[in-house]
Amino acid sequence: MQQKIKEIELILEQYQVEMQQNLCKLLQIESVLAEAGESCPFGVEIGRALDFVLGLAAGWGFVCENDHGYVGLVDWGSSDFQIGVLTHIDVVPAGSGWQTDPFCPRIIDGRIVARGAIDDKGPLMAVLYAFRAIKESGVALPVTLRHIIGTNEENGSQCLAYFLKHHTPPAISFSPDAEFPLIHGEKGILQCALLPDLTKAGETDGSSQVEDMILRWAKGGTAVNIIPDEAEACLKLTTRGKELFLQAYNQFEDKDGIAYDEKNGEVLVHAIGQAAHGSLPDSGYNAVALLLRFLSCLPLSGANGKYCRDIAHLMAYANDGGGLDMKLSDEYSCLTAAITMLNIKEIAVKDQESYAMMDMRFPVSMAGESIINKLHAGTAAYNIVLGKCLLKEPHFLPVHHPLVRQLLMVYKNITGDDSPPLVIGGGTYAREMKNSVAFGPVFPGEVSLAHHKGESISCENLLKLAKIYAVALCLLADMPKELFL
Ligand SMILES: [Zn+2]
């Protein structure tokens, strides 16, 4: 096997330039979620990107299948025992601020710059060439290698749900859609609406008996898994209310991020923060939380005022669940909880339209049910009820699991890096199946520009990825199958 591995690495080196060229062709296709077309449930461009990739693989002699535009399959081998690699071909929209055209890839300082370069088209192309090099080396593997190409990872992974409904998942698999050295645990996810309890709507906390200041509405946030960078509120003030507002504003500690405009007895308050992924609230600055902290310093009257203060107490002062009395952790990670969306409406009392959304990531050793029970307990003293919840249990493979050990060894042998595996708050394809982990493509110390402007992958790392994935597949194929049954 060692001889074959050397051969495979040489083949990959010969293909380095061609691999870059084909990656650039793939990056030119704007495979962003769009209106469904025929056999393209997530848009014509995603379909075109999938056809391009499957066309390449078929041309190299692989058995390929486009399953109704939901998922692409590239197979090598005829064993019932499958080793899978999970990548995705859809990308998030370009966004603003790019110095180059995000769908016209450029090589700048040894890096290919384009939307999707690292997430996930670069790794996808590396896996495709890993398969090709394995095939051309002539090595006989006692398994079937299956590259599963998703089409909807960035918008709910309906592609993977479709795959799991119509196909048997591979016995073992990895997904190059996160970080090296390896992700052996993904925290549980609880996304939940915190609603005003209308049965207690008449109760207030006595903060304001006079209606000098009414919260007409407040809103912020774009998606439940994104830390919001903007939030706004509208207040109706009496003359005395205006005085109280100014007093509170001047005393407010974080007023750098708060601005206000006044018009016809109404005040519009803006809060500015910094966006981040919902699983990493500390890496951004939550504008909704900031707005709520400010609003809860004001003597707001009525049910909206009470709702605002309740949500602020629970969610706006800490990202660690402290406000909910849920500051939990285990040996791998700590719980995080962030308010990611807010929509308070003036008419809330009548039709229950106001809501706040929470994105919570809980440690891998804890069960969803106990987390929900703790959340009920933590909110019980407030005029808050829990609305619709989306729960995903944690995904975890112990460090001594044979898949984890083998992949870590391959990574270490090729890079020399001995870092321990990671537990993350984000969710990857790996969590949807057993014996599956996320493995690369971002190296330790590298800043991932996934989802950001200027996304890129280094040409050197692209080749390194192909080598790591090819060697990993060969060595996994060589392991006793009983280890994974
Ligand atoms: Zn991705």
What would the mean pLDDT of 263-278 be, rounded to a whole number? Answer: 92
The C-alpha angle with vertex 183 and arms to 182 and 186, in degrees rounded to 5, equals 180
Give Cα separations from 376 to 105, 324, 395 (angstroms): 49, 9, 23
The DSSP string of 436-473 is EEE--EEPTTPPP-TTSTT-EEEHHHHHHHHHHHHHHH
**pLDDT at site 201:** 62
Residue 136 reports pLDDT greater than 80 = yes
Report CA torsion sign: 69, 389, 177, 278.
Answer: positive
Q: What average pLDDT does range 139-168 have in this prediction?
A: 96
Q: Tell whether the model's pLDDT for residue 91 goes beyond 90.
A: yes
What is the Cα–Cα distance from 481 to 478, expressed in whole angstroms? Answer: 8
CA gap 424, 189 in Å, rounded: 11
Average pLDDT, the chain: 94
Boundary of a domain, candidates 393, 415, 443: 393
Question: Which structural domain range is residue 339 located in?
Answer: 188-393
Q: Does residue 209 have a pLDDT over 80?
A: no
Q: Is the pLDDT of residue 334 over 90?
A: yes
- Answer yes or no: do 265 and 304 share one domain: yes
Domain-ending residue, one of 364, 393, 422: 393
* Mean pLDDT of the 410-414 span: 96
- The whole-number pLDDT of residue 351 equals 59
Query: In this structure, are 332 and 412 located in the same domain?
Result: no
Q: Measure 87 CA to ligand 1 centroid, in angstroms.
A: 8
Q: What share of the chain is helix, strand, coil (3-state, %, to 5)?
A: 35, 25, 35
Q: Mark whether 366 and 403 lie in a shared domain.
A: no
Together in a domain, 229 and 178: no
Gap between the Cα atoms of 3 and 7, Å rounded: 6
Ligand 1 centroid to residue 285 C-alpha, Å:
23
What percentage of the chain reaches a pLDDT higher than 90? 88
Domain end marker among 366, 393, 420: 393
Do residues 208 and 175 share a domain? no
Supply 261's token pair. 């405009």
215 SS3 class: strand
**Beta strands 82-88; 71-76: pairing state:** unpaired
**Number of domains the chain is built from:** 2
What would the pLDDT profile of 210-248 be if each residue is shown by its tens digit?
Answer: 688 999 999 999 889 989 999 999 999 999 999 999 999
Q: Which residue has the tokens 């006793």?
A: 480
40 CA distance to ligand 1 centroid (A)?
19
Q: Are residues 21 and 136 in the same domain?
A: yes
Q: How far apart are the first and last CA of the chain?
A: 24
C-alpha separations of 114 from 104, 153, 361 in Å: 7, 18, 30
Provide the CATH number for the domain around residue 74.
3.40.630.10
What's the Cα-to-Cα distance from 247 to each of 44, 251, 298, 303, 324, rounded to whole Å?
56, 6, 9, 23, 29
> What is the pLDDT at residue 301?
86
Say yes or no: 173 and 196 in one domain.
no
Split at pLDDT 50, 70, 90, the class of 353 is: confident
Quick one: pLDDT band at residue 165, thresholds 50, 70, 90?
A: very high
Q: Where are the alpha helices (DSSP H) in 152-201?
A: 158-166
From the candidates 30, 45, 120, 153, give the one annotated as an active-site residue. Answer: 153
Confidence category of residue 131, pLDDT binned at 50, 70, 90:
very high
pLDDT at 352: 58
Whether the CB-CB separation of 32 and 90 falls below 8 Å is answered with yes
Residue 153 catalytic?
Answer: yes
Q: How far is the centre of ligand 1, averaged over its atoms, from the C-alpha of 216 (Å)?
A: 39
Residue 179 a catalytic site member: no
Predicted TM-score (pTM) of this structure: 0.89
Q: What is the pLDDT of residue 197?
A: 87
Residue 302 CB neighbours (<10 A) = 18
Among the residue ranges 192-201, 219-228, 278-287, the one predicted with the least confidence is 192-201
The domain that contains 222 carries what CATH number?
Answer: 3.30.70.360
Based on the fold, state whether residues 275 and 142 are members of the same structural domain: no
Q: What is the pLDDT of residue 95?
A: 85
Asked if residue 320 and residue 344 are part of one domain, the reply reads yes
Q: What are the tens digits of pLDDT across the range 290-303?
A: 999 999 999 998 88
Q: What are the residues facing 173 on neighbouring strands?
A: 84, 436
Helix ranges (H only) for 138-285 are 158-166, 239-251
CA distance 237 to 216: 10
Residue 420 CA to ligand 1 center (angstroms) comes to 22
Burial of 299 per CB tally in 10 Å (0-12, 13-18, 19+): middle
Asked if 196 contacts 345 with a C-beta cutoff of 8 angstroms, the reply is no
Centre of ligand 1 to C-alpha 177, Å, is 5
CA dihedral 380, 386, 390, 391 (to 10 degrees): 20
Dihedral angle computed from the Cα positions of residues 373, 378, 383 and 387, in that order, rounded to the nearest 10 degrees: -40
Residues 442 and 369 placed together within one structural domain of the fold: no
| Co-location of 279 and 309 in the same domain | yes
pLDDT at 204 over 60: no
Tell me: do 24 and 66 sit in the same domain: yes
- pLDDT band of residue 170 (cuts 50, 70, 90) is very high
Across 178-204, average pLDDT: 88
Q: What is the number of residues in the chain? A: 485
